[in-house]
Amino acid sequence: MDKFMQAAVEEAKKGLSEEGIPIGSVLIHKGKIIGRGHNRRVQNGSTILHGEMDALENAGRHPSVFYRECVLYTTLSPCPMCSGAILLYGIPQVIIGENKNFMGEEELLRSRGVKVEVIQDPSCIEMMSCFIKIHPELWDEDIGL
């Protein structure tokens, strides 16, 4: 696993240690992590701080040209909200830990020109599948099921 996906996994694990939903993300600009985040539904009572959104928020304000040079890493396939944020800011590339536990809007992203790569990392798959088994109600709430 490359160092950026490893950083996203560390974020997911941080979420788990806070009794939250273990999904993490990092935003990369020119080879450097400029935003880290993890799902904060449980911790902050947040309905919008998915991992990717938290990473975007923590990266702070930037002009659109900046985002055009970014890559977003996320441990799980991005939901419609997070995919929409990727499209809003024109982030050209997304690297996804896995889509076995949840298939997000990868086709929409691709249809709009975003380069989408799915690693299918076994540790990402296991972390999420275990969480869903233990807390199905939290997962359903987070993903609008």
Are the C-beta atoms of residues 52 and 26 closer than 8 Å to each other?
Answer: no
- Min CB(122)–a copy of itself separation in Å: 27
Of 11, 19, 52, 117, which residue is the catalytic one? 52
Going along 16-121, which residue ranges are E strands? Answer: 24-29, 32-38, 70-74, 93-96, 115-118
**Using rule CB under 8 A, residue 136 touches a copy of itself:** no
**Using rule CB under 8 A, residue 106 touches a copy of itself:** no
DSSP characters for 28-40? EETTEEEEEEE--
Among positions 2, 17, 47, 110, the unique one binding a copy of itself when judged by CB under 8 A: 47
Are the C-beta atoms of residues 109 and 91 closer than 8 Å to each other?
Answer: no
**Using rule CB under 8 A, residue 59 touches a copy of itself:** yes
**Using rule CB under 8 A, residue 30 touches a copy of itself:** no
**Using rule CB under 8 A, residue 57 touches a copy of itself:** yes
What residues make contact with a copy of itself under the rule CB under 8 A? 41, 45-48, 53, 56-57, 59-64, 67, 79-85, 87-90, 105, 108, 140-141, 143-145
Annotated catalytic residues are 52
